[in-house]
């Protein structure tokens, strides 16, 4: 936060960091050593009309960016996602869908998952599809089972 006050010698309006309150500084205009006043909000508001309007102006100056800030962030978010999607040259990525990972409570959604993914990346970005077999231990039966997976190499 900045502190605005007037030099008691030359009346130059000076703006300093609030942390400098109470410290001695040299006025850049008249070179007189002056003490930065400690802010007293009640004093500013009951002092003279010039100070009142100055305070109002300063307050207005602060209020505008504060209100714009969060609004900007809200607008920026979707733009950022768009930028990410369009960003630079696409990288080659690999995704492996294991059949067992796509079975939810006995409901086999493997084809649905793979199809949704392929549609999402788009046909033109698919470089290679490879069928794989893998073994895993079935928790229920404690048997080693062979299952299938698909490896997708794509640009994304
Ligand atoms: Zn001065």
| pLDDT value at residue 56 | 47
Q: How far is the CA of 23 from the centre of ligand 1 (A)?
A: 15
Q: How far is the CA of 11 from the centre of ligand 1 (A)?
A: 6
| pLDDT value at residue 101 | 85
Q: How far is the CA of 62 from the centre of ligand 1 (A)?
A: 25
The rounded mean pLDDT for the chain is 77
Tell whether the torsion through CA atoms of 142, 148, 154 and 156 is positive or negative: negative
Domain residue spans of the chain: 2-84, 92-155
Q: How far is the CA of 19 from the centre of ligand 1 (A)?
A: 20
Q: How far is the CA of 59 from the centre of ligand 1 (A)?
A: 24
Q: How far is the CA of 34 from the centre of ligand 1 (A)?
A: 8
Q: What is the pTM of this model?
A: 0.41
Give the integer Cα–Cα distance in Å for 107 and 102. 9
């Amino acid at each position: 936060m900045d502190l605005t006050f007037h030099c008691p010698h030359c009346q130059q309006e000076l703006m300093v960091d609030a942390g400098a309150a109470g410290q001695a500084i040299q006025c850049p205009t008249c070179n007189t050593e002056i003490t930065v006043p400690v802010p007293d909000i009640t004093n500013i508001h009951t002092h003279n009309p010039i100070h009142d309007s100055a305070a109002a102006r300063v307050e207005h100056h602060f209020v505008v960016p504060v209100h714009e800030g969060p609004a900007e962030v809200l607008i920026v978010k979707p733009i950022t996602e768009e930028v990410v999607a369009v960003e630079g040259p696409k990288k080659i990525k690999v995704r492996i869908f294991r059949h067992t990972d796509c079975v939810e409570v006995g409901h086999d959604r493997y084809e649905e998952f793979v199809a949704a993914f392929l549609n999402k990346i788009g046909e033109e970005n698919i470089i290679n599809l490879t069928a794989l077999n893998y073994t895993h231990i079935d928790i229920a039966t404690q048997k080693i089972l062979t299952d299938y997976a698909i490896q997708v190499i794509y640009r994304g």
